[in-house]
Structure formats: C-alpha cells, structure tokens
Amino acid sequence: MKINLNEILYAVSFALDATEAEYYERIRNNGISVIGETSILRADNVRFSYKDHRNVVVTVGHSKRIAALSIVMGKALGLDDNKLIDLAAYAVLHDNALTEVIQEENQYKLYNNGIGYSDEDYNIRCATIGEKNTSLLPFRTNNRDVILLHNEHSDGSGPFGRHYENTPIKAQIIHLANSVDTHCDLTTITKENYTEICNYVRNNSGRLFSVEV
C-alpha cells in the first residue's frame, strides 16, 4: 500500500489547528491565564488566532502557508523534487512542538513563581523537541537540523547563534516564510500588504535572512 506522507502531514496540521483551538478556547472559557495577562484570543472551531506574551500572532492555515511559500522559494533556489517534497513536509511540521512546550512551560511556572521561559529558552525548547519529534520520519533527503535551526538569523543572532553559512538551506527558507507570515497578514493579499512584505524582507536582508535566500 502506497502512503502519501504529505497528505498525512496536512491532516496532522489540521488536527493541530483543531487541538490548539480547543486548548485556547478552554483557557478563555475557564478564565485561566496560562499564556500571559496580555493575551488576545479569538476562537471559532478551527478558525482562530492568538497573540501571546511574546507578541506572536498565529492564524489558522499558518503551516500550510509556510509550506506554499517554502516551495516557491525552494523552486527559485533550484532545489530538486525530492528536496521540495521534504521541504514542504518540514514546513508543515515546523511548529510541531508548540503545544508540548506551552504545556511544559506551564509546569515550569508552577515551580518558578509564575515566571515562564525566556524568549530564547522558549524557542530553543520548541526547536529541540520539534527536531526530536521529526528525527525518525521517513523523508527522502538529508534534513538534519532543519527544524532545530529554523529560527536562526543570518547574522548569528538567533537562538543557537548559527550564521547562515552554517544553517541548512531548508531551515533558512522556512525561517523566512515563517517570519513573513507572522509579521505580515497573508490571509488576504492586497497591494498594501504586498508592499509591507517586500519592505519587511528588504529591511531584514542580511540580518534575519541571508541575501542569497
């Protein structure tokens, strides 16, 4: 029996959206604040967005948009079909440890006077656990450290201090796609937000993103 791994991953992505929506909806309904006093939450089945104390806004379909953007960039950079297939899969799974780390952080707060992880520690935990979660999946090409390093900045100011020349190209592509989707509204494309996207990428080229990507 042939199995289409990407279709399975898209199903997993949808399930994660639904699970996170239910998780945050329960928090709101029960009046429990586990993601910061400034949290903003809107949930409607799997259509939701939230803004946590790290000021990161995530909307439904985020992982799928990252996959689509990554494929376009991967093609432009000359990646072959096998690498593109793996790139799409890893883009879908780039935040696979998010809920796990949120729950882990909640437990950490219980023994740390309500203080959670620093932004750096949070990103490191997400990347480390996410890399471990995907390490045994049957992909076609070498994907070592793609999840682990997908938040690295080209100038070495990311969580692990890796410069772009020491960061896998797939990780760099996912980082750019992820950054654009979390800082700009890609749910609808207009002339205004197209300009915003171009300016964001241009202004951060050489700092967050390598010039090559």
Query: Using 50, 70 and 90 to split pLDDT, how confident is the model at 64?
Result: confident
pLDDT the model gives residue 11: 66
Confidence (pTM): 0.78
* Position 213 confidence tier, pLDDT thresholds 50, 70, 90: confident
199 or 16, which is more confident: 199
Say whether 202 sits in a helix, a strand or coil.
helix
Where residue 3 falls among pLDDT bands split at 50, 70, 90? low
Sign, CA dihedral 73-75-80-84, equals positive
Q: What is the pLDDT of residue 62?
A: 82
Spatial contact of 73 and 88, defined as CB atoms under 8 Å apart: no
**CA 14 – CA 17 distance, rounded (Å):** 5
Phi, psi of 46 (to 5 degrees): -100, 10
- Please report which confidence band the pLDDT of residue 193 belongs to, taking 50, 70 and 90 as the band edges: confident
Distance CA 50, CA 41 (A): 5
* Model confidence at 141: pLDDT above 70: yes
Q: Would you list the domain boundaries of the chain? A: 63-204
pLDDT at 36 over 80: no
Give SS3 for 51: strand
Report the percentage of the chain scoring pLDDT > 90.
48
What pLDDT is attached to residue 192?
83
Lowest mean per-residue pLDDT among 55-59, 152-156, 180-184: 55-59
Residue 185 is predicted with a pLDDT of 80
Q: Which residue has the higher pLDDT, 61 or 82?
A: 82
Average pLDDT of the chain is: 80
Residues 6+ apart with CB under 8 A from 187: 59, 61
Whole-angstrom CA distances from 102 to 32, 50, 172 are 14, 13, 24
HSE-CB for 69 with a 13 A CA cutoff:
24
Q: What confidence tens digit (pLDDT) does each residue in 147-169 have?
A: 999 999 999 999 999 999 999 99
pLDDT band at 61 (very low <50, low <70, confident <90, very high): confident
pLDDT over 90 (residue 87): yes
Q: Give me the CATH code for the 63-204 domain, please.
A: 1.10.3210.10
Task: Please give the pLDDT value at position 2.
Answer: 63
